[in-house]
Amino acid sequence: MALQIVHGWQGLPEASKGASIAMGNFDGVHLGHRRVLAEAARVAGAARAPFAALRFRPHPVTVLRPDAEPFFLMTPGQQARALEALGVQRLYDLPFDLDLAGLSDEAFAREVLAEGLGARHVTAGFNIHFGRKRSGDAEALRRHGAALGFGVSIVAAATDAEGGEYSSSAARQAVREGDMQAAARILGRPFAIEGVVVEGAKMGRQLGFPTANVALGAYVRPALGVYATRTRLPDGRAVPGVASVGTNPTVGLVEARLETWLFDFDEDLYGQTIETDLLAFLRPEVKFDSLDALKAQIAADADQARALLAPAF
């Protein structure tokens, strides 16, 4: 069954209500989120109810702090696919605005969860906050659920073998530092940038290394530098490569973007949507004294990336 996306919470038909709902923002759909989703799925199965997730769009931070630095780990489309892959049948997109932000935690539980969505059960993480000025917490959700007639499960923190917490904040920090292995351990998969291939100055082609250029958009900014990559094309093919996340200091400064050279590939990708996994950080961005020096370094980067990626391709 394809994922059903339900927009809003007011005036919904009965067929769109009555789910076991995992509540959160789920940016990254990391291993901690998956514990919340697994509990909501377990309850859904036991209650013979639809398994649903709830997210806010736009993300509350973009409404309450519009000047915040880009911080997303995935686009809404990537997130929906990740949730569907985990068995989510219904995704509630709650439009977040100042009116919704102004609801008290009790009003949110009553008007949105109980009356609007007709929730059978709500599952959330131990650090849940909801309602005006984040006034509601896990205990408040339990209390409101008991009063309003829906069940509540609160899931404890998920940690790795060393006690590190699986969290979106930790994943973002790892990406910012270029620690792609740490990011992948938290996310349960590589950090990936998805976007439409746009035309650039075509300097890479002139140098002998044609790149597919994608804007970083609202993604958290990875450490500027060079990465070993895997890119998924619209037809499902996965192509190894090497990419620069940077500003092109040698050939002319631009806004930071992702430029990926796909190995052994010579097809037109302009206007197509691709998704590139950043698998390993190879080196920081450097300004070279000449184009010849830049070309030599790109060739060396490619050799290093090919060696790292060889077991997978």
Q: What is the pLDDT of residues 28-54, one digit of tens each?
A: 999 999 999 999 999 999 999 999 999
Write out the residue range of the structural domain in which residue 102 sits.
4-155
Check residue 115 and give its pLDDT. Answer: 98
Are 212 and 135 part of one and the same domain? no
The pLDDT confidence band at residue 16, using thresholds 50, 70 and 90, is very high
Quote the percentage of the chain above a pLDDT of 70: 97
The pLDDT confidence band at residue 199, using thresholds 50, 70 and 90, is confident
Q: How many domains does the chain have?
A: 2
Are 219 and 297 part of one and the same domain? yes
Q: Which of 110, 134, 155 is the last residue of a domain?
A: 155
Above 70 in pLDDT, residue 262?
A: yes
Q: What is the pLDDT of residues 128-146, one digit of tens each?
A: 999 999 999 999 999 999 9
CATH number at residue 57: 3.40.50.620
Are 255 and 133 part of one and the same domain? no
Check residue 71 and give its pLDDT. Answer: 94
The pLDDT confidence band at residue 288, using thresholds 50, 70 and 90, is confident
Are 14 and 104 part of one and the same domain? yes
Handedness of CA 179, 160, 35, 60 (dihedral sign): negative
Are 92 and 47 part of one and the same domain? yes
Within 10 angstroms of residue 227's Cβ, the number of other Cβ atoms is 26
Residue 182 lies in a domain: no
Are 133 and 207 part of one and the same domain? no
Residue 171 lies in a domain: no
Residue 174 lies in a domain: no
Q: What is the pLDDT of residues 263-273, one digit of tens each?
A: 999 999 999 99
Are 147 and 194 part of one and the same domain? no
The pLDDT confidence band at residue 160, using thresholds 50, 70 and 90, is confident
The pLDDT confidence band at residue 195, using thresholds 50, 70 and 90, is very high
Are 51 and 130 part of one and the same domain? yes
- The C-alpha atoms of residue 285 and residue 72 are separated, in whole angstroms, by 22
Are 108 and 12 part of one and the same domain? yes
Are 134 and 227 part of one and the same domain? no
Residue 76 lies in a domain: yes
Residue 227 lies in a domain: yes
Are 199 and 138 part of one and the same domain? no
Check residue 291 and give its pLDDT. Answer: 85
Residue 261 lies in a domain: yes
Instruction: For 24-150, list the strands marked E by DSSP.
Output: 51-57, 90-95, 121-125
Q: Which of 136, 155, 174 is the last residue of a domain?
A: 155
Check residue 204 and give its pLDDT. Answer: 60
Residue 181 lies in a domain: no
Q: What is the pLDDT of residues 232-256, one digit of tens each?
A: 999 999 999 999 999 888 776 678 8
Are 137 and 229 part of one and the same domain? no
Q: Which residues lie below 8 Å from residue 259, measured CB to CB, with a gap of 6+?
A: 200, 204, 211, 212, 213, 214, 243, 244, 245, 246, 248
Residue 165 lies in a domain: no
Check residue 35 and give its pLDDT. Answer: 96
Lowest pLDDT segment from 9-13, 91-95, 291-295: 291-295
The per-residue pLDDT of the chain, averaged, comes to 93
- The C-alpha atoms of residue 92 and residue 4 are separated, in whole angstroms, by 9
CATH number at residue 263: 2.40.30.30
**Catalytically active residues, by annotation:** 259
Q: Which of 155, 179, 210 is the last residue of a domain?
A: 155
